[in-house]
Chain A
Amino acid sequence: MYQKAFLFNGIGSEPERLLSKMTKDMVEKFKQYQFEAFSLVNLNTDIEKNYPEDKLIAKWITSSVCDKVVFEKFIERGIFPDIGAGYSSGIVSICAAFSVFTYEFAYKIIMSNKLTMNALKANNKNLDMGVIIGLDVNFVRELISKFHLENKVFIGSINSKVYTLITGEADSVELLLNAASDEGAMKSIKMNVGISYHCPLIAPYCLEYNSFCATGKYNDPDYPIISVYDRRIMTSADDLRQENCINVPSPLRWDLTLCRLEELGVTEFFDMSADCTIKRFSRCECKSTKIFAHTDI
């Protein structure tokens, strides 16, 4: 039933890296879209000229704008999705690309992360995220238990059997990352974003964000979208509204999402990230399915 799956990335890529793999035409398109997006939410297109608290948001919107450019490149080449998935905040980008809501609303959703950041700041909550590459996820769980961090650090996403996103209290995240490094992780690095997505600790502080997500006009998607939380196939506006509202505090399973897509018959994945990140971190999990990035077409 489904053959081609479009995969949208979340936050985390640096703008320079995103643009480095784009063709000249894509960069021109990006500049136009970025100008429109940043004007809408009152950000300076020179990211460094924004207020410190806005710089992260500017990078995240830049990432979503790049996804739009890449998505349009695939469509222009006659490659259309049968289904899609959004990794983390990639749910916002995929909803815009699949006409669930407008790109304008998508950028406003990303901007409204500031509401969560402000709530965390007002309550002196120091949260963060990190990635651990090269350790089995069960071993990461053992480390969490060993250091009694069960109520402080959580597994935000299992991206593959050896790539785990951790999320929680900043000090505890750092402690776990150092322990992982000592135990032989190939990479254990703090994201330094001051926020902990896919973590129950953030739930009381993202209520305004969730309310904002819920207020927009949602349409049924042009193509089905699979939930990264429970792997159900979403085809209605209400499904997608709910998915956006639970995105921030809920842990996700990217590995199981890819497996489910393969079970559903998907034979080709298409990476919508400009820096080919999805391809790089997904192919460890799905070796039998081809993954194409925009640089491959």
Chain B
Amino acid sequence: MRTITEEIRNDIENMIFDYYAEECEVDRSEITMQSNPQEELGGDSLMFVELIELASDKYNLDVKLQSVGKYMLKAPLNTMKDVVDVFCKIYQYGNDIVNL
């Protein structure tokens, strides 16, 4: 398991917010931790897949989409905070996220 620092968490949060702002054509300042990524921002599963690939490249992560998908059965993404949390978990646990 990798340790996640406050700095890395902030970095992950910025990466996610920047990505959603650009892809959903929403002003970055309008996105909050309480925003619903699908209903409010217009995000979708393909975007989420791409974001996982971006994060994998950026942080040198080894994670299968299916592992993340299984984890999300237990932790659905209703807010941007949920999205940030799942990416922090991916950073920490990689494929072992499926066992959480």
Contact = CB atoms under 8 A, between A and B. Distances in A.
Interface of A: 133-136, 139, 162-163, 181-187, 280-281, 283-284, 295
B46 interface: yes
B70 A184 contact: yes
Contacts of A184: 65-73, 98
Interface of B: 25, 44-50, 53, 65-73, 98
27 contacts: A133-B45, A133-B46, A133-B49, A134-B45, A134-B66, A135-B66, A136-B66, A139-B66, A162-B49, A163-B46, A163-B49, A182-B73, A183-B66, A183-B69, A183-B70, A184-B67, A184-B68, A184-B70, A184-B71, A184-B72, A184-B98, A185-B69, A186-B49, A187-B44, A280-B46, A284-B46, A295-B25
Interface of B, secondary structure class, is helix
Contacts of A162: 49, 65
B48 A284 contact: no
Contacts of B53: 284
Given A184-B73, A186-B72, A280 B47 contact: yes
A19 to B, nearest CB: 14
A162 B48 CA distance: 12
B94 to A, nearest CB: 15
Nearest to A136: B66
B47 to A, nearest CB: 7
A153 to B, nearest CB: 19
Nearest to B50: A284
A193 to B, nearest CB: 19
Nearest first, the 10 closest Cβ-Cβ pairs linking A and B are: A184-B69, A184-B70, A187-B45, A186-B45, A184-B66, A134-B65, A133-B45, A134-B69, A280-B46, A186-B69
Contact of A283 (B50, B68, B72): B50
A283 B45 CA distance: 14
A281 B50 CA distance: 10
